């Protein structure tokens, strides 16, 4: 039974052999298991390494600041922008790229070389002279010059993976001193060992025992790399063994340079809220707002110091520890002879140099990035965005974004008051004429990565639809001076039911002008007008203005029974602001490949979708909304003429304001995610935030050239009759030339004004 014969099958013979020599069998089995385990680890670690090795995620840039004579920019504001870009102030003439010098009204900047999407701009010295209006003149080495661009702010990589963000740097972008310092401090024998370094382990043990504290680790850089791939805080013996084996396996497959580069791009360097900072490239931007290849000795030393414990040595929260460890790093570097003693001493005494993130707002813009990704994914595959080193130039304006974020956060907090439930809000700001999306705020928490209300909340727009109704009317021959009846009505519906709309205040004003009905957002008059023009007409116009979703052409559409995102609304109001030209709202301006070749461009395109004369008339009414209508409680700087519309949906579930100036279109929404009523109208809610954002970020008042076919008339706001200049309710209106105006006199009386004023006060207070 125990004797096997030559012709038995293998497993029978093996089993027999095992029974004869049990210990040997056990050894063999263990060896096989170990081999299998090693093979498994081999696969695990090389798969991870390879997966990251060629990863070159797209880099995303904000808009570059254009400098030119006549730009309304104060020297302090330019300095702020320069500091945000990591430019360092110097005494005397700036020589190194990334530095500047300021006298009272003159700033000299040595710009960085930068490859824009359309040209490579060499490093150059620009001198700017300021006066009270802003930039008065620019000069460079060749003399007077008209315009110069600063390099744009890098806002991060396109796809933070699982909350990890990194800016992959190529070997050329890594300062040699950094490589040397890493080896000196973390792994002296890096170039010689096979993945683990028993000497280092021993030495570290001794040193730590002597010091009574963990000063040195015995892990090699390779081991640390492995640990970072499989971030695991349970440093059990078993884990350490795994780590050691995987480190040795990595060393088998890959050369030292590759491993060091991977380490530089992988190592955990800090935490920014939800976002984990990985790699020296992003760490350099995060802590110093400067590119890695620009860092000097003190900064390099600080980053190397952080590797051991980014939380423990966090320069923001524990500056003394950071300083102390940086000093230690500098000592080690001096001892090793890679840095002169004098330099190290100077570095040890210098500031930590962490840039002030507060003044710039959050440097992470996930809400905006979401729009960037959406727009890119229409043209690129996901792999293109994560592997091929694309450079994406966006329209993000960090100043506008910072204002929008701050105003939403503060505004909602103020509106919350004593409420049991916290309100939600969103904001979108775009550039009027170019369609550039400047800022996206999707949540009251800046940097929030979850539900993005600016892009994805679809909410009833209520009275925001009214300008569309009125535009349809104007295009079909109505004028702002025509009369409407603001009187009760019941509308029969197709399904046999009927619909009885109401004014918000439940009062009816009788005979009013189109102008008044829009400015005061009268529901009944609007429904009558809309029915006369045709609900289908309104639905069609909505589509032409840029809203691409299907729309139900029911009468309730006339009062805004249609759901849109704040970005959708911005697109429509931008078309008004542009005099009837639709221009696509774009977050991405240009994309360039790793070599600098421009790829897809997202050109500025326009399309006239509504006639200029009608839109001009409409916009006059929208200006009046803010002067004397439902938006009159807005507080704006003198001279900043703005136009807009309040939006309040059924039962006060949505509070909107959408409006524009000459240079900005802004939309704010306030409400509850679960649709419960807020009790806020557009004026008492969203407008409070909107006017702050616009005051912060808009500089150009709304104005437009008078289109052909219109002439200016002075008419009474209530009656539409032509009146003399002394009439108290007179408005200068552009109306179609030769318009027959209604008969009537100046309504200087207080017809219904008392009650209406009380309603507005009620609105404003609540």
Partner 1 sequence: MVCGLLGLLLAACSTVPTGAPRQDGAAAPPAGAPPAPDMRPVSATLLAQSRAQLRDGNSAQAAATLERAIRIDPGEPAVWLALARLRYTEGNWQQAEQLARKAKSLAARGSAVRSAAEQVIGDALLMQGQPRGG
Residues in the chain: 766
Active site residue 463: yes
Least distance to partner 1, CB of residue 644, Å: 13
Q: 176-186 and 221-229 are packed helices; what angle lies between their axes, rounded to 10 degrees?
A: 100
Q: To the nearest 10°, report the CA torsion of 366, 370, 371, 375.
A: 140
Tokens of 255: 């050369």
Q: CA distances (Å), 326 to each of 185, 348, 702, in order?
A: 11, 7, 54
Tokens of 498: 């009927």
Q: 176-186 and 319-335 are packed helices; what angle lies between their axes, rounded to 10 degrees?
A: 90
Q: Which of 164, 186, 294, 449 is catalytic?
A: 186
- Taking the least distance from each CB to partner 1, the nearer of 216 and 431 is 431
Q: How many CB atoms lie within 10 A of CB 235?
A: 11
- State how far the Cα of 245 lies from the Cα of 713, in Å rounded to an integer: 87
In 661-736, the DSSP E strands lie at 664-671, 710-716, 730-736
Pick from 548, 614, 540: which is nearest to 584 by CA? 548
Q: To the nearest 10°, report the CA torsion of 16, 22, 23, 28.
A: 40
- Taking the least distance from each CB to partner 1, the nearer of 496 and 705 is 705
- Taking the least distance from each CB to partner 1, the nearer of 259 and 626 is 626
- Taking the least distance from each CB to partner 1, the nearer of 332 and 618 is 618
Q: Which of 289, 424, 463, 649 is catalytic?
A: 463
Q: Which residue has the tokens 């063994």?
A: 241
Least distance to partner 1, CB of residue 579, Å: 6
Using only the alpha carbons of the chain, give its radius of gyration. Answer: 33
Least distance to partner 1, CB of residue 609, Å: 10
Least distance to partner 1, CB of residue 362, Å: 25
Phi, psi values for residue 25, rounded to 5°: -60, -45
- Taking the least distance from each CB to partner 1, the nearer of 530 and 579 is 579
Least distance to partner 1, CB of residue 208, Å: 58
Least distance to partner 1, CB of residue 515, Å: 13
DSSP 326-395: HHHHHHHHHHTTSS-HHHHHHHHHS------SGGG--S--HHHHHHHHHHHTTTS-HHHHHHS--EEEE-
DSSP code for 557: G
Least distance to partner 1, CB of residue 370, Å: 23
In the chain, DSSP finds a helix count (H) and a strand count (E) of 24, 33
- State how far the Cα of 308 lies from the Cα of 544, in Å rounded to an integer: 59
Active site residue 335: no
Q: Are 455 and 605 spatial neighbours (Cβ–Cβ below 8 Å)?
A: no
- State how far the Cα of 685 lies from the Cα of 463, in Å rounded to an integer: 14
Least distance to partner 1, CB of residue 730, Å: 10
Least distance to partner 1, CB of residue 660, Å: 10
**What residue ranges bind partner 1 (CB under 8 A)?**
66, 68-70, 117-119, 145-147, 431-434, 436, 579, 581, 589-590, 598, 601, 603-608, 612, 619-620, 623, 641, 662-663, 699-708, 712, 714, 725, 732-734
Phi, psi values for residue 115, rounded to 5°: -95, 105
- Taking the least distance from each CB to partner 1, the nearer of 557 and 592 is 592
Provide the annotated active-site residues.
Answer: 186, 463
């Amino acid at each position: 039974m125990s004797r096997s014969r030559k012709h038995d099958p293998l497993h029978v013979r093996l089993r027999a052999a095992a029974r004869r020599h049990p210990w040997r069998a056990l050894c063999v089995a263990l060896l096989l298991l170990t081999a299998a385990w090693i093979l498994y680890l081999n696969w695990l670690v090389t798969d991870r390494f390879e997966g990251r090795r060629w990863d070159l995620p797209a880099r995303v840039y904000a808009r570059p600041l254009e400098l030119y004579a006549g730009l309304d920019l104060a020297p302090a504001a330019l300095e702020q922008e320069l500091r945000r870009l990591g430019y360092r102030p110097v005494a005397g003439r700036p020589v190194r790229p990334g530095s500047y010098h300021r006298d009272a009204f003159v700033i000299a900047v040595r710009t960085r070389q930068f490859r824009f999407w359309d040209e490579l701009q060499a490093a150059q010295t620009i001198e700017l002279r300021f006066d009270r209006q802003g930039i008065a003149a620019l000069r460079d080495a060749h003399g007077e010059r008209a315009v110069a661009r600063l390099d744009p702010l890098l806002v991060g990589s396109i796809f933070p993976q699982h909350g990890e963000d990194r800016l992959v740097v190529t070997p050329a972008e890594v300062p040699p001193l950094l490589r040397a310092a890493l080896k000196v401090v973390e792994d002296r024998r890096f170039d010689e060992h096979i993945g683990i370094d028993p000497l280092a382990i021993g030495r570290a043990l001794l040193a730590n025992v002597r010091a009574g504290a963990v000063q040195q680790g015995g892990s090699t850089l390779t081991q640390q790399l492995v640990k970072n791939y499989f971030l695991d805080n349970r440093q059990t013996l078993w884990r350490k063994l795994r780590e050691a084996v995987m480190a040795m396996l990595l060393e088998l497959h890959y050369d030292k340079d590759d491993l060091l580069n991977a380490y530089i791009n992988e190592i955990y360097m800090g935490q920014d809220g939800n976002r984990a900072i990985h790699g020296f490239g992003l760490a350099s931007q995060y802590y110093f707002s400067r590119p890695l290849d620009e860092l000097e000795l003190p900064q390099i030393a600080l980053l190397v110091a952080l590797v051991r414990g980014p939380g423990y040595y966090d320069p923001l929260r524990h500056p003394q520890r950071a300083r102390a460890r940086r000093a230690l790093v500098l000592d080690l570097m001096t001892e090793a002879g890679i840095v002169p003693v004098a330099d190290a001493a100077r570095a040890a005494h210098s500031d930590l140099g962490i840039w002030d993130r507060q003044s710039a707002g959050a440097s992470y813009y996930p809400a905006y990035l979401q729009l960037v990704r959406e727009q890119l994914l229409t043209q690129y595959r996901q792999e293109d965005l994560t592997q091929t080193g694309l450079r994406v130039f966006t329209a993000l304006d960090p100043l506008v974004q910072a204002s929008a974020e701050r105003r939403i956060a503060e505004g909602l907090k103020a509106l919350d008051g004593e409420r049991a439930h916290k309100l939600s809000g969103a904001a979108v700001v775009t550039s009027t004429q170019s369609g550039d999306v400047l800022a996206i705020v999707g949540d009251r928490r800046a940097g929030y990565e979850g539900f993005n209300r600016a892009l994805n909340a679809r909410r009833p727009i209520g009275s925001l639809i009214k300008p569309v109704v009125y535009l349809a009317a104007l295009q079909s021959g109505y004028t702002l001076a025509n009369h409407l009846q603001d009187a009760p009505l019941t509308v029969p519906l197709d399904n046999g039911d009927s619909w009885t709309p109401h004014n918000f205040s439940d009062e009816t004003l009788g005979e009013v002008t189109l102008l008044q009905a829009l400015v005061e957002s009268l529901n009944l008059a609007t429904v009558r007008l809309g029915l006369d023009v045709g609900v289908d007409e309104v639905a069609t116009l909505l589509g032409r203005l840029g809203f691409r979703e299907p729309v139900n052409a029911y009468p309730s559409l006339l009062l805004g029974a249609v759901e849109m995102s704040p970005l959708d609304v911005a697109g429509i109001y931008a078309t008004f602001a542009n005099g009837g030209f639709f221009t696509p709202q774009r977050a991405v301006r240009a994309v360039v490949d790793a070599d600098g070749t421009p790829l897809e461009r997202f050109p500025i395109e326009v399309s006239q979708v509504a006639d200029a004369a009608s839109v001009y008339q409409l916009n006059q009414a929208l200006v009046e909304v803010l002067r004397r209508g439902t938006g009159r409680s807005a507080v704006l700087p003198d001279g900043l003429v703005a136009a807009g519309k309040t939006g309040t949906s059924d039962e006060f579930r949505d509070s909107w304001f959408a409006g524009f100036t000459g240079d900005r279109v802004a939309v704010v929404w306030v409400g509850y995610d679960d649709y419960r009523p807020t009790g806020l109208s557009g004026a008492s809610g969203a407008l409070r935030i909107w006017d702050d954002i616009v005051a912060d970020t808009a500089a150009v008042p709304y104005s437009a050239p008078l289109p052909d076919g219109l002439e200016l008339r002075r008419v009474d706001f209530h009656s539409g009759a032509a009146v003399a200049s002394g009439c108290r309710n007179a408005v200068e209106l552009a109306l179609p030339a030769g318009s027959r105006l209604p008969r009537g006199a100046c309504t200087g009386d207080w017809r219904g004004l008392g009650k209406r004023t009380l309603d507005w006060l009620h609105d404003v207070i609540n």
